[in-house]
Structure 1
Amino acid sequence: MPRPFTETTVTAHRAASPAGTLPAQVIWPAQRSGLAPLIALHGISRNASELVDLLRADAARSGRIIVVPHFSARRWPHFQRPCRSARPDQALLALLSQLAVTMPAFAGPVDLFGHSGGAQLAHRFAMLYPQRVGRLNLAAAGWYCLPDTSMAHPYGLGANAAPDALCWARRHAQALPAYLRLPVQLYVGSDDTLRDASLRQEPELDRLQGRTRIDRAQTYLDRFRRAALTRGILPDVALTLLPGVTHDVARAIRDAGLARHVTSDPSLAPLAAAC
């Protein structure tokens, strides 16, 4: 077991897997609350160190252990979704297993938080391994894997002409009932409406998921609810708009309290109205 801390500290870790090596920083609060550890996944800016700085105060406040992996551009050029050429899911599993050796809390379900590209990885990881996830927090994802067959994989669970599309669609659909039972909280800035180069733009994607991150989050909320209810599952999913926030994780945390949302005890009253 890690030694008791008198102040919040940060330690560096590195986990090897068949998919590649994944470094991470772990924020250890001085006082532990017993809440599940939180895995925080960066977006395509790969700003893991900045996330550590942004999340440190809320780790101390909430008593949560927070793990911030770093998917470097050199080793992980495509980390947003598991596929034949990249298996970030395997790297995350190896990291959790390594941390569980000295901290048993990592052997059970952990909470996930991802912003932008990190939110894409977070929900796809949860679809593949719902038993490893306690709560899912998705902030400003550019697009989603819808939990139905309305779009071909990777946009949904349908198949297309790509050689491995059917295989991956089946993998993501295999544990779908368990995934639809997870509590899921979506976040998007109220001003995150810019269609810039970082937002994937394709006619079919725009038509079926929407033209902005807000539209696409609302589509995902609706499709998640529909998929759950179709299977007799009561969905626990909501969308919160962060007032005055664009596609900027630092502003979302500093100005709109995003870190407080995702680190707080989920059994307490929500901090903001949800859709």
Structure 2
Amino acid sequence: MQRRALLAGLMAPGLARAALPAGRSRIAFDEPSGAAPGPMTVELYRPAAWRPGGKVVAVQHGLRRDAANYRDAWAPHAEAQGFLLICPHFSAAQFPGARYYNLGNARAPEAEWTFFALDRAVAAALRAVEAPPAPFALYGHSAGAQFVHRYLLLTGAPRVSRLVIANAGWYSWPDFGIAFPYGLGDCAATEAGLRAALTRPVTILLGEADTDPNHPALRRDASSDRQGTTRFERGQAFFAAARMAATRYGVRFGWTLATVPGVGHSDAGMAGPAAEILASAS
């Protein structure tokens, strides 16, 4: 299936119909991708002052698949910054393992990629608040950061206004000489897509205390260790590799690197700085 057809499908009616009130809520819509296609839930927070046409931020949870916890951690920032908060729940039952979440099922035909579940979740949320389709800012933490940067590199993230990639465990390097998922070789990524991605407004956001090489959720193997032995090292190295790729291709480099002092592998600790970045551009 062509990407144009996939994106057109985002406008299909969802399960949610009535406009949602201010505060916390949850919706569900029919999601065709994943190992077990079916209803997918989305956790929402609508600030009291938010109206259709206002800022929209989507947040991708980590390995624990705890979208409700991410919604609760981000809700005060959504209220303060005035953006509609959308937290899709990529459940372990529907999107099992790294294949269907961190890697977006990108080895499968494009029509089966789970990256597009994010676009459909945002579209369903906007329908639920009776808002028209709109660009959104995007944040991912840990496993969600893995999803987000691969979503950008493989799909181009055409609806996204700004991206924050926080504390990813490991990356798909901007190098076609390294096979996916550790690089962009032997997958659907293209040099044109990489060149475009390098110009986008992306922030690599790293907790300065995310430095435990033995963290139980940190992948350690020969390929990932070439990127560094901690998330903090790997994030800095990934940013440097992206900057070098932009120089090599002769394109304007749109990414920035930012760090958060005293914060380790914690979404709650990263949420405030990330919200300020996203709200300024969403």
Q: How far is 1:36 from its partner?
A: 3.8
What is the aligned partner in structure 2 of residue 112 from structure 1? 138
- Residues 1:152 and 1:3: Cα distance change in structure 2 (over 3 Å): closer
Structure 1 segments (4+ residues) deviating >4 Å? 1-5
What is the aligned partner in structure 2 of residue 162 from structure 1? none
2:119 counterpart (77, 80, 93): 93
What is the aligned partner in structure 1 of residue 247 from structure 2? 229
Contact 2:29 2:40 in 1 (8 A): yes
Give the alignment's Cα RMSD to 1 decimal. Answer: 2.4
Q: What letter matches 2:220 in structure 1?
A: Q
2:205 counterpart (180, 187, 209): 187
Query: Is structure 2 residue 67 aligned with structure 1 residue 40?
Result: no
The 5 A counterparts of 1:203-222 are: 203-207=222-226, 209-222=227-240
Contact 1:11 1:26 in 2 (8 A): yes
In structure 2, the gaps of 5 or more residues are 1-16
Q: What letter matches 1:50 in structure 2?
A: N
Q: Distance in 2 between matches of 1:129 and 1:236?
A: 14
What is the aligned partner in structure 2 of residue 66 from structure 1? 85
Query: Is structure 2 residue 263 aligned with structure 1 residue 241?
Result: no
Contact 2:42 2:125 in 1 (8 A): no
Q: How far is 1:39 from its partner?
A: 0.8
1:146 counterpart (173, 176, 185): 173
Percent identity, aligned pairs only? 32
Structure with the greater relative contact order (CA < 8 A, sep ≥ 6): 1 or 2?
Answer: 2
Q: How far is 1:43 from its partner?
A: 0.4
Q: How far is 1:4 from its partner?
A: 9.0
Query: Is structure 2 residue 156 aligned with structure 1 residue 129?
Result: yes
Q: How far is 1:35 from its partner?
A: 5.4
Contact 1:40 1:67 in 2 (8 A): yes
Q: What TM-score does the superposition give when structure 2 sets the normalisation length?
A: 0.80
Q: How far is 1:87 from its partner?
A: 3.3
Q: What TM-score does the superposition give when structure 1 sets the normalisation length?
A: 0.82
Q: Distance in 2 between matches of 1:36 and 1:151?
A: 37
Q: What letter matches 1:239 in structure 2?
A: L
Query: Is structure 2 residue 25 aligned with structure 1 residue 11?
Result: yes
Q: How far is 1:231 from its partner?
A: 2.5
How many residues were matched structurally?
Answer: 250
Q: What letter matches 1:82 in structure 2?
A: G
What is the aligned partner in structure 1 of residue 276 from structure 2? 261
Q: Distance in 1 between matches of 2:203 and 2:274?
A: 13
- Residues 1:74 and 1:134: Cα distance change in structure 2 (over 3 Å): same
Q: What SS does the aligned partner of 2:169 have?
A: coil
The one-character-per-residue Cα deviations of 1:186-218 (angstroms, maximum 9, x if unpaired) are 1111111112221111123212x1111111111
What is the aligned partner in structure 1 of residue 194 from structure 2? 176
**Range with greater deviation from structure 2 (181-190 or 114-123):** 181-190
Q: Distance in 1 between matches of 2:150 and 2:23?
A: 30
The one-character-per-residue Cα deviations of 1:152-173 (angstroms, maximum 9, x if unpaired) are 1111112xxxxxxx2xx23365
Q: How far is 1:96 from its partner?
A: 2.7
Contact 1:189 1:246 in 2 (8 A): yes
Q: What SS does the aligned partner of 1:59 have?
A: helix
Q: What letter matches 1:264 in structure 2?
A: A
